[in-house]
Chain A
């Protein structure tokens, strides 16, 4: 079967480059390529006395617009390994899904629990292969038989092994919190508090991060505690729209509008002209000048 035929059996996987030539031609004619959904983000991880804590915000952006106010950035890799992803959303999702499947197959093959270093090597090999064009920056954390581990993986394939790590557009804000408050041997409560503070710092100071905080605690027994701290609730009772049922009218009626501050200025009538009370004397003289 010729490769130009559309009707053929579904391909076996991997990337297909057949539209590249057409897209090159279009950008040669000045057509801009579209904005991909990014998870311009704050993601953090730290090692505490019993294991690893990962944290992430939940905003997904497409250009300057927030397209998802509650997306999940902490991805499942294995029951004892989780991975936070920053960068292009499609890339982080696909790369973590793919490596998660490979880890599952490896578990079936070996009959053992997955190790964090295995996930790390699979991820960095894939990312290096594509020379940074797969834009996924990851914070990988987990607990295996050799202890708790925390790694960062950059889009080009380099990795770091650290006791605390931050990635994403809000990483500087979060790192500032970590650098001042981190110490070894934190207990679970202190660890969660520190991770939440770091993510909040990213949320408030970075425009690409926002909404809620997701926290994931991984300990030796493999128990997982996903906690979601909701900062911005949503109220549906603020606005009430009454629609005329023939579809032509829209009556918008706001209720419960409570202003933060009100300043009212009294207007007094003076010689047929409305003037604010404080400036009355000044304006009168101006008026007299004008009328001459």
Chain B
């Protein structure tokens, strides 16, 4: 059994036209037993930057607390929010620090950078950044998510279409994975608003 399969997770972020969307499943389990059906995997760093953390839930929580701490210090020193590219480098550095005893966590970072251009990125558990122009996936349902997103993605989607595409891709993939599911959480972020939706999925 892999350590990533202890809690189970599914995370995906997708780029649209001057907007992005990030979605996760809601199940928290201990191997095959479900403990919570409303677990929050995506966290807001600031209004234009979100991070989703998949993998071992305890490492995800610790890593999130460390990142919030570093970001708050940055805000105090620089008197502004961190750009998504900078934040991605921070996450990568924090993870690589633990190269020989890593956090069992795979983050997905999504934000709007300068000129409202969407930015998405994922890293593996030791901080190797992967910057993509279309979508990034993480979690136990990752393999199915690759397939679903590859088929459903189109460039330059408007927010409504992006929401539809991403929710279909997420629900289709978590249905094929025992360890993730119980609906979905999806955030659609445009330069003017942040929309948070909860999706209803199969409860198994």
**CA A133 – CA B101 in complex, angstroms?**
12
Does residue A215 face the partner (Cβ distance < 8 Å to B)? no
Point out the residues of chain A lying under 8 angstroms from B98, CB to CB.
15-16, 18-19
Which residue on B lies nearest to A94, using beta carbons? Answer: B96
Q: B73, B100, B153 — which one has the most chain A CB atoms within 10 A of its CB?
A: B100
Which A residues between 36 and 77 are near B, CB-CB below 8 angstroms? 36-37, 60, 62, 65, 67-68, 71
**CA A36 – CA B99 in complex, angstroms?**
10
Does residue B183 face the partner (Cβ distance < 8 Å to A)? no
Which B residues between 34 and 84 are near A, CB-CB below 8 angstroms? 55, 62, 65-66, 69-70, 73
Does residue B8 face the partner (Cβ distance < 8 Å to A)? no
Q: How far is the CB of B82 from chain A (nearest CB, A)?
A: 14
Point out the residues of chain B lying under 8 angstroms from A60, CB to CB.
128, 130
Point out the residues of chain A lying under 8 angstroms from B9, CB to CB.
none
Interface size class of B (residues with CB under 8 A): 35 or more
Interface size on A, residues (CB 8 A): 44
Which B residues between 85 and 123 are near A, CB-CB below 8 angstroms? 92, 95-104, 123
Does residue B33 face the partner (Cβ distance < 8 Å to A)? no
Which residue on A lies nearest to B164, using beta carbons? Answer: A243
Are the CB atoms of B101 and A6 closer together than 8 Å? no
Does residue B126 face the partner (Cβ distance < 8 Å to A)? yes
Q: B96, B123, B155 — which one has the most chain A CB atoms within 10 A of its CB?
A: B96
Contacts A/B (CB < 8 Å), 12 sampled: A6-B66, A16-B98, A18-B101, A21-B101, A23-B101, A26-B3, A32-B2, A32-B3, A36-B125, A90-B123, A243-B164, A247-B199
Chain B residues with CB under 8 Å of chain A are: 1-4, 6, 55, 62, 65-66, 69-70, 73, 92, 95-104, 123-130, 132, 142-143, 146, 151-155, 164-165, 167-168, 172, 199
